[in-house]
Amino acid sequence: MRLGIIGLPNSGKTTIFNALTGQTLPTGAATSGQFEVHTAVVNVPDPRVDKLKSMYNPRKTVYATVTYADIGGLDKGISEGGLKGQFRNELGQVDGFVHVVRAFDDETVPHPYETVNPQRDLETLDGEFLLADLVTVENRLEKLQAEMRVKGKNVDKAVPAELELMEKFKEHLEAEKPLFELEISPDQAKGIRGYNFLTLKPVLVVVNLGDEAKDVSKLVTYTRPGSSVVGLQGKIEAELAQLEADDAAMFMQEYGITELSAAKVIHLSYELLAIQSFFTVGEDEVRAWSVAVGATAPEAAGAIHSDLQKGFIRAEVMKYADLIAGGSEAALKATGKFKLEGKEYIVQDGDIVHIRHNS
């Protein structure tokens, strides 16, 4: 799970990266000098893991994680002719994007477009991704059409199907609609995976409020399916991320902050990719595992180890809420809430799973 943090110059991308990850990168680190990408792995806060830890007292506790990549800033016109080089590769490798848009005034950090307008900036970012994908589609169409002219009836049967799909993509993009909105079959998605279309990836919009709380709903409207918008006081939360818990609590009280948005952004990042958590528990380890929503029990076993998926027999399943209410595994077994599930079982968020398998 890797999310790319992107935005226009001076939008505060690195500040948001620091707030989410607890890093201390100098602001502008991803855009100054030579091209650099900074990454950090962040635990997904989960009170269920904390509760299970207190119940089992394991030697090791592992949370689900999200990886953030602070990628260099975009700017209007950067996608003309297609994005190239390492920058394009980095954008293509992430699973989704955190679009940072600026909603703060700071005379020492001028906005590249002179005025602060988060809605305009967000539309600029989306427009650049649309243009980049359109260039990719047009280049691919030229190659497919040339191949059909040269080979005629001997052309590979997959070429006409891909040509039809690319023409559909072109029409959709020219209508200024992201490819994310199109229905694409699993086979089609597999066939185009190598192109790393940017508008196929989900988006989380983070409005950087600087050090002033504002109503985000009055600043940005974003109706893209599967996306969310959240405000974050980037400057303040980046400073809080460097403090010990007691000092951070005093800081929050002084500024009248009742809840940090960084944790919310991390949760939304996790949900953005249609990912959920199941747990394994015991004296050795309590761990949260990440699987796609809709994953089967064997696929969950594979998230733990490929051998478990190959030798899968059954999954012993407890519901987190049932375990907490019952107080112990023995209580669940006594009430019939400790289940044995087969290969068709769809894992639910919060399931506690033990895999039975052939060794």
99 and 231 co-located in one domain: yes
Domain closes at, from 171, 199, 227: 199
Domain closes at, from 137, 167, 199: 199
Nearest-5° Cα angle at 343, 332 to 353: 35
Structural domain including 167 reads 129-199
Q: Indicate which CATH number applies to the domain containing 336.
A: 3.10.20.30
Is 279 domain-assigned? no
40 and 73 co-located in one domain: yes
DSSP state of 296: B
Residue partners of 187: CB distance under 8 A and separation at least 6: none
* CA atoms of 10 and 4, how far apart (whole Å): 16
* CA atoms of 116 and 210, how far apart (whole Å): 12
Is 352 domain-assigned? yes
Is 38 domain-assigned? yes
Decide if 16 contacts 206 (C-beta within 8 A): yes
Tokens linked to 39: 């990454």
Q: Residue 283: exposed, middle, or buried by beta-carbon count in 10 A (0-12, 13-18, 19+)?
A: exposed
- At residue 28, the pLDDT reads 55
According to DSSP, the residues that pair with 198 across neighbouring strands are none
Domain closes at, from 233, 256, 271: 271
9 and 89 co-located in one domain: yes
According to DSSP, the residues that pair with 354 across neighbouring strands are 316
- At residue 54, the pLDDT reads 95
* CA atoms of 324 and 279, how far apart (whole Å): 14
Is 215 domain-assigned? yes
* CA atoms of 177 and 124, how far apart (whole Å): 13
Q: Indicate which CATH number applies to the domain containing 21.
A: 3.40.50.300
Is 264 domain-assigned? yes
41 and 172 co-located in one domain: no
- At residue 71, the pLDDT reads 86
According to DSSP, the residues that pair with 355 across neighbouring strands are 315
* Angstrom distances, CA of residue 184 to CA of 27, 131, 169: 39, 20, 10
Provide block-wise average pLDDT over 10 residues at a time, the chain (359 residues).
90 90 73 69 93 95 94 69 72 91 90 92 92 92 91 85 94 93 89 91 93 88 87 87 83 76 86 92 96 95 95 96 92 89 96 92
pLDDT per position as a tens digit, 82-98: 666 777 888 888 999 99
Is 54 domain-assigned? no
187 and 221 co-located in one domain: no
22 and 71 co-located in one domain: yes
Q: Indicate which CATH number applies to the domain containing 169.
A: 1.10.150.300
Q: How many CA atoms lie within 13 A of 307 on its CB side?
A: 2
148 and 241 co-located in one domain: no
Closest CA to 52 of 326, 284, 337, 279: 279
102 and 195 co-located in one domain: no
173 and 239 co-located in one domain: no
91 and 228 co-located in one domain: yes
Strands (E), the chain: 2-7, 38-43, 60-62, 65-70, 96-102, 203-208, 228-232, 275-280, 285-292, 312-319, 339-341, 351-357
180 and 329 co-located in one domain: no
Closest CA to 207 of 198, 197, 216: 216
* Angstrom distances, CA of residue 289 to CA of 78, 153, 229, 278: 38, 49, 26, 5
DSSP state of 186: H
- At residue 118, the pLDDT reads 95
223 and 320 co-located in one domain: no
Total count of domains within the chain: 3
Closest CA to 208 of 11, 8, 4: 11
pLDDT per position as a tens digit, 23-63: 888 775 444 445 678 899 999 989 999 999 999 999 999 99
Q: Residue 267: exposed, middle, or buried by beta-carbon count in 10 A (0-12, 13-18, 19+)?
A: middle
Q: Residue 76: exposed, middle, or buried by beta-carbon count in 10 A (0-12, 13-18, 19+)?
A: middle
Is 289 domain-assigned? no
Q: What is the helix (H) or strand (E) element at residue 324, kind and residue range? A: helix 320-326
Is 118 domain-assigned? no
